[in-house]
Every structure is written in C-alpha cells, then in structure tokens.
Amino acid sequence: MATNTNAASLDESPIPEPVHKQQKQTIDPYNVSGEVGEDGVVKAIDYNKLVDEFGTKKIDDELLARFERVTGKRPHHFLRRGIVFSHRDFELILDRYERGEPFFLYTGRGPSSDSVHVGHTIPFEFTKWLQDTFDVPLIIMLTDDEKYLFSEKRTIEEVQGYCNSNSKDIIAIGFDPAKTFIFSDFDYVGGAFYRNIVRLSKHITLNQARAIFGFNESSNIGRIHFGSIQVLAPSTKIHFRMTRDVSARLKYKGKPYAKPSLIHSLFLPALQGPGTKMSASIDESAIFMKDTPNQIKNKINKYAFSGGKVSVEEHRSLGGDTSVDVAFQYLRFFLEDDEELERIKGEYEKGEMLTGELKAICIRELQTYVAAFQERRAKVSDETVKEFMETRPLKWGGNPRATIVVPVVENGEGGEAAEGDGKMTKNQLKKLEKLRQAEAKKAQKAKEKAEAAAAKAA
C-alpha cells in the first residue's frame, strides 16, 4: 500500500496509526473495519468475502442489461461502477415490474447526530433513483428507539430531536411526498406493526441474537429484543439475512410471507482511508452535509488518505494508486460523468496528475453536491416533515409499459358461469394472469427485435 504522505501534493494527509495486532475484517450491524495485516495496516474491505459469507449474488452485466430492457432506463452510475454490487432476488422485482405487479421500497436510518454525512446520503440517493425509475411507494423507518437502547448517554428526547433533524435531511434528497412515508419507531410502533414485531420475535432465539449481534449477559433486554424490530427494516446484510430466514417461517392466511429482495452497496470510506467507515460521532472522519465549503476543503486536504507517492519524482515515475486514494474513491460516488472519471483515473495512475490536483477536483465536486443539498434542506420545514409522516394512502403509478389484457368472459363459456356480482372465478383469474404474462413476453421480444434491427442498421 502506498504511503499516505505525498510531498507532490503539498498537503498534510496523516499517516494512519499502525495497528500491530493482526485481525480479520469485521462487518456486523454496529462495526465496520477492514482486515489488519501483519504489518499493522488496515486493508480495504474485501466485498467478495461478504458475497460468499452471506450467500448473495453479484450484480453482473446480464442483470444490468435486463434492468435496462425492462425499465427503459440506463442503470445508475452506482450500478455501472459496481458501487451497488450485490443482491438477493432482485430479478424477482424485475419480474413483478415487467408484469405490472405492485411492490414497494423499504429502507431506514438510525438518527445518531443532528446532521447526516455524505456516506449516509448514498443509500438514500440510490433509493430515490429506484423510486423514480419504478414509480413505487417507499417506506423509511427511523430507528430512534435503537439509538436510545444502544447508547449509555443519549436520552429519548435527544434521539427524537435527531429524528426530526434527520427527517429533514432525508426529505432534502428530493423524495416525492405523494408516494413516501417516513416514520419513527417511538411514534409509530403499535397496532398491526407491533403485531408483526411480536410474530417475528417468536421465531428469534436468544442464541441467534447472541451469535448475530454479539450480545452477552450484560446486554440489556431492550437491545436483545430490538433485533425483532430491526428485522422489519434491516440496515445491514446480517439483519436482512435474518429477515429472510424468519419470513420463510411465517404465514398469512396459510401462505408464507414473501422474502424481501435485497440490494447492497459499498461503504463510502472514511477520510482516513480504505477499511474504514465514516462515523457520525467523529467529525474528522466525514464530510457532513452541514459543512461549509471551507470545512470541506480543509478536511479533504488535511485528512483524505492519499494514494500518491512520497516525492514528485517517484509519483511522476510510478503514478498513484486510485484503489486506496480517498479523493478518487469519493469521485467514484459523486462524479456522474464516466468519461471524466476515467480520464482522471488514467492521468493519476500514470503520474500525470498529482494528489493535490486530484484533491482539488474532489473538493469542487463535494462542495457542489453539499451546497445543492443545503439549498433544498433550507426549504424543508416542520410542516413538511409532518406531511411525510402523516398516515395516509400513498399514490404511485408503477410500470406504464406493462401490458394488461382483460379477457371478455361470457356466461357459460367453458362451463364457467360469470359471477352475478361481476367477480371473476379462480380459473378466470389464472387465465388472466397467463394472458398478461404472455403479452409481456411478446412485447419484450418485439422490443428486443426492434433494438437489434436498429443496432444492425447503425
């Protein structure tokens, strides 16, 4: 790994403190760190190990091509660049969308500070894009109860204050209030929601909770029980894995619950470098969405881990390492222009661009992103939050291209009599579904044939 001091950039990027005890990477609901090697240096997180460990599938070119065919939209740059890299049953969501069947998005946030940082915005930016692309409802769960239970110092009033502030941050991403519902656990848990929590809790043993979350005899029972609440809006692959396992054992009207489809993204590294994760409680680790342009500049210049070499001569000769350079990694997330990103990558790796120049580009992009966010955030009022948190029917459109064929059923046709109240029989509904699927496949084949002909003509 390249050293983090680069005379060529004339900056003061700190050298990370060496950790002399070798240890494996840690990814659990409350801790994220890369593997520590024999040299005491923290390595980047190995996401291939996570795919194997949790039994997920990588998002490949074939799935992306199908996504574009089904939605008619180019995949988000998070998908194109492997930032959103893994999934479980995402193809089933594409099946439903293709058939015009309903589904919804579900995500959440644990309010732990009065401002989110740029790492927190990543899943919400992608979720908004998914909502806009599929035109479906979205539920956002704020786990203020979790932040109270897992902190020895925070009060309920404090985390509820964070909840209100973080709601405004989330809304500032640009979600549509007509099809988005935000709720806090403290305010909303009850009724049918609480009944589901109890159903789930009955299928989670104490041994499972200990093994998954690391609880021991000193853990308060609120933390232990919280696993059954978090299952409803999991924030990590570990929670989601338990959700899928438990849902398979629950039934509604004799039928098992549907397993949620999952999609996973990379962590945005902390300023300190690969193998780290931004922390809301450590100001020097992150760019916060309330930071001023000058604060962003100072943080990147002072703390952003560099992939450059020690001297100008060495850097010009050997080039920089973009795989560990924090400024470049941030550009992977926030710079939308693929060609521009490739140009920067090539010049830095060849030594044509110095670390200071790379950091300047990163600073400009982050300042622009944060400034636009702050402008939207200033327009979000307490009344806006109430609008998003009001219990109400959501409105959405779904797939406008889905072909729905309603058969004309005459009395006595095929030995089946039409219901006097206009309802279709089970056999009629089955026929309707088969016709709808056949029409969807026919339309897709026609589209692919037309696209192939157009490509050949070009």
pTM of the shown model:
0.75
pLDDT in tens, 94-142: 999 999 999 999 999 989 888 999 999 999 999 999 999 999 999 999 9
Whole-angstrom Cα distance, residue 365 to residue 304? 15
Residue pair 102/96 in contact by the 8 Å Cβ criterion: yes
Helix (H, G, I), strand (E, B) or coil at 191: helix
CA dihedral defined by 127, 129, 133, 136, rounded to 10 degrees? Answer: 30
- pLDDT category of residue 233 using cuts at 50, 70 and 90: low
The predicted-structure confidence for 182-193, as pLDDT tens digits, reads as follows 999 989 988 777
Residues in CB range of 243: below 8 A, 6 or more apart: 231, 232, 234, 259, 260
Q: Which of 199-213, 305-319, 322-336 has the lowest mean pLDDT?
A: 199-213
DSSP string, 338-364: HHHHHHHHHHHHHTSS-HHHHHHHHHH
Ramachandran region, residue 67 (left: φ > 0; alpha: ψ -120 to 50; beta: rest)? alpha
Going along 196-253, which residue ranges are E strands? 251-252
| Alpha-carbon separation of residue 456 from 68, 70, 446 (angstroms) | 19, 21, 15
Q: Largest alpha-carbon pair distance within the chain?
A: 88
Identify the pLDDT of residue 36: 64
CA atoms within 13 A on the CB side of 260: 22
Angle in degrees, 0-180, between the axes of helices 355-377 and 293-303, rounded to the nearest 10: 150
Q: Tell me whether strands 251-252 and 255-256 are parallel, antiparallel or unpaired.
A: antiparallel
Model pLDDT, residue 45: 77
- Looking from the CA of 35 toward its CB, the CA atoms found within 13 Å total 9
Query: Could you tell me which residues come within 8 angstroms of residue 236 by beta carbon, excluding any fewer than 6 positions away?
Result: 27, 28, 29
| pLDDT tens digits, one per residue of 437-453 | 766 677 677 677 767 77
Query: In the numeric block, which tokens belong to residue 31?
Result: 């801790």
When pLDDT is cut at 50, 70 and 90, the band that residue 168 belongs to is: very high
Contacts of 330 (CB under 8 A, 6+ apart): 118, 268, 304, 362, 365, 366
What pLDDT does residue 436 have?
Answer: 66
Average pLDDT over residues 37-58: 77
Residue 47's pLDDT band (boundaries 50, 70, 90)? confident
pLDDT of residue 28: 58
Go through the domains of the chain in sequence order and give each one's CATH number. Answer: 26-271 (3.40.50.620)
Query: What is the arrangement of strands in the sheet containing 105-109, beginning at the earlier edge strand?
Result: 105-109, 138-142, 180-184
CA distance 269 to 45: 9
Provide the pLDDT confidence category of residue 289 given band limits of 50, 70 and 90: very high
